[in-house]
Amino acid sequence: MKILVATHPFGDTGRQPLDLLESTGWELVRNPYGRRLKTGEVGKHLQGVDGVIAGTEPYTAETLAQADQLKVIARVGIGLDSVDLAHCRDRGIRVTYTPEAPSDGVAELTLANIINLIRAVHESDHSVREGAWNRLMGRLVREVTIGVIGVGRIGSRVISLLQPFQPTILATDTNPAVFGRPLPNVRWCGVDELLQRSDVITVHIPLNARNRHFINRDRMARMRTGVLLINTARGPVVDEAALTDALIQRHLGGAALDVFESEPYEGPLARMDNVVLTAHIGASARASRFLMELGAAEDCVRVLRGEAPMHDAIADELD
């Protein structure tokens, strides 16, 4: 057997995932670039490979056409928009993922961004560095209404983290299995009401064809003036061009983005003082990253040994 560790870094938060792979005695090949693989680089490394420990690099049908004996793609993380699941199903390639491991890290970053934005921490930092001493007036968390779009693993954790602060929390979800589930101090409502009533909106929905540009120009227009928007889900869930315009026009008061339509991000949002940008670090907490890598390694080995994985992405997403 041959396993490609495509994601980078891998093993930096603890050797157990790497030790597990090495203990099989199978051939192990590491990402040779020391960075995220780009489109066009993935396919040439898949020849003769039985399993891949994958990051966010793309596994399209075109890329996978170069995989002559691939049996499993074990995704380090939760997002599956970079993998053509239907093609993998048709080819008999198992796809696994680690949905629980990154959730605490992303939820905590979301909370940090909520507090950052409503207290203008980033703007005060900039002003001090520029020689000003602007004592900007913010709000307490309990003063604001926070709208949570998507109340799955991460959205529900955000709500739990917010409870001690006692804000008004509105929640909505497009999944009827989730919508309306009893949660303390939460009022469920439709998307339109949430957009119109929230002071802060945080997005936690998966990227799929239905959710691409879910937060679009029309939905931004329905938000109240001065609203703060946070996206720690997937970049294309938010229309960045529309967001840029809404911020320039001051209809939106600010934004915090950890994910982008194209990464690494280079664009006009980087030049705005009322926007907080982070480099897709939601899951970049040591404990989260370790559990993601360990879960991916375990499932990769399980599949290659003919066992069922802990988290079957194709079964969860397509069935």
C-alpha distances out from residue 28 to 93, 154, 247, 300, 319, Å: 19, 33, 47, 12, 32
User: Under CATH, domain 103-277 is a member of which superfamily?
Assistant: NAD(P)-binding Rossmann-like Domain (3.40.50.720)
Using pLDDT thresholds of 50, 70 and 90, give the confidence band for residue 317: confident
Cα–Cα distance measured from residue 266 to residue 200, given in angstroms and rounded to the nearest whole number? 25
Which CATH topology does 2-99+284-318 take? Answer: Rossmann fold (3.40.50)
Write down the pTM of the prediction: 0.90
| pLDDT greater at residue 40 or residue 275 | 275
Interval 174-230: pLDDT, tens:
999 899 999 999 999 999 999 999 999 999 999 988 999 999 999 999 999 999 999
Identify the pLDDT of residue 318. 62
What positions carry a catalytic annotation?
Answer: 234, 263, 280
* pLDDT surpassing 60 at residue 86: yes
Using pLDDT thresholds of 50, 70 and 90, give the confidence band for residue 93: very high
**Residue 32 structure tokens:** 């040779």
Cα–Cα distance measured from residue 18 to residue 205, given in angstroms and rounded to the nearest whole number? 31
Interval 216-259: pLDDT, tens:
999 999 999 999 999 999 999 999 999 999 999 999 999 999 99
Alpha helices in the chain (DSSP H): 16-23, 61-64, 85-91, 103-119, 121-129, 153-162, 191-197, 217-222, 240-248, 286-304, 313-318
Provide the percentage of residues in the chain whose pLDDT is more than 70.
99
CATH 3.40.50.720-classified regions of the chain: 2-99+284-318, 103-277
Tell me the residue length of the chain.
319
